[in-house]
Amino acid sequence: MSMNERTVGEIRRTSARVPARRGAIGTVATGLCAAAAATLLALSGCMAEAATPAAASDALARHTGPTARAIFAGGCFWCVEADFDKVEGVLATTSGYIGGSVPNPTYEAVSSKQTGHAEAVEIVYDPRRVNYEQLLKHFWRTTDPTALNRQFCDVGTPYRHAIFAVDDAQLAAAKASRQALEQTKPFREPIVTEIVRAGAFYPAEGYHQDYYLKNPVRYGYYRERCGRDERLKALWGKAAG
């Protein structure tokens, strides 16, 4: 792991250990701002970031039609959640853990590779407005399916690239999508994505939910330094999500 990867990984762990306080502008920021103050000095918005975040979407609460679920693991769940919240027809996203052997895991246990879980995002969507195949296409193009047990600067099995199908129809669709992608992918590396039936999904701690909305400066700094968008552009070109 490079020095940059170690630095960004520590920033993310520190930021997660100390959730951001919500309060008036001017409140001393905690978490990443305190841990990486020297690095973030140029980001003048850091101190102001403690302001109350935007209100969460109430799309799911207002929805009266059918819903469906999908679960994807694409590295940092902050980023996966942010990317899927942009998709028309997605009603709600929840960061969490799946694929491990320990019930009710914590972030610290998962990130230390003690439980076998992957960071993942559960998506609730309106199947009349977006279908599972479209979500799969978005997933491929917003993640790196060539990376084994890592995504971008996050390394280890908690950051593995995986699709957790909630039923047999999703399992078949995911496998068919991967097979089709093998024939059309714009890169030479093999696809290493794990496709399995979903087990128990455990929502992550509250401070991880909507992290990109609650902590836009910290999230933006993490995403940029992790090289996520740069890698996606190199991998997918204009098709990057």
| Catalytic residue ranges | 76
C-alpha 158/C-alpha 118 separation (Å) is: 4
**DSSP code for 88:** T
Q: Which two tokens stand for residue 69?
A: 């679920």
- Name the residue with tokens 């799946």: 98
- Cα three-residue angle 59-64-67, rounded to 5 degrees: 75
- 6 SS3 class: helix
C-alpha 211/C-alpha 206 separation (Å) is: 9
C-alpha 98/C-alpha 1 separation (Å) is: 25
Query: Rounded to the nearest 10 degrees, how much is the dihedral formed by the CA atoms of 96, 219, 217, 3?
Result: 140
Q: Which residue type does 167 have?
A: D
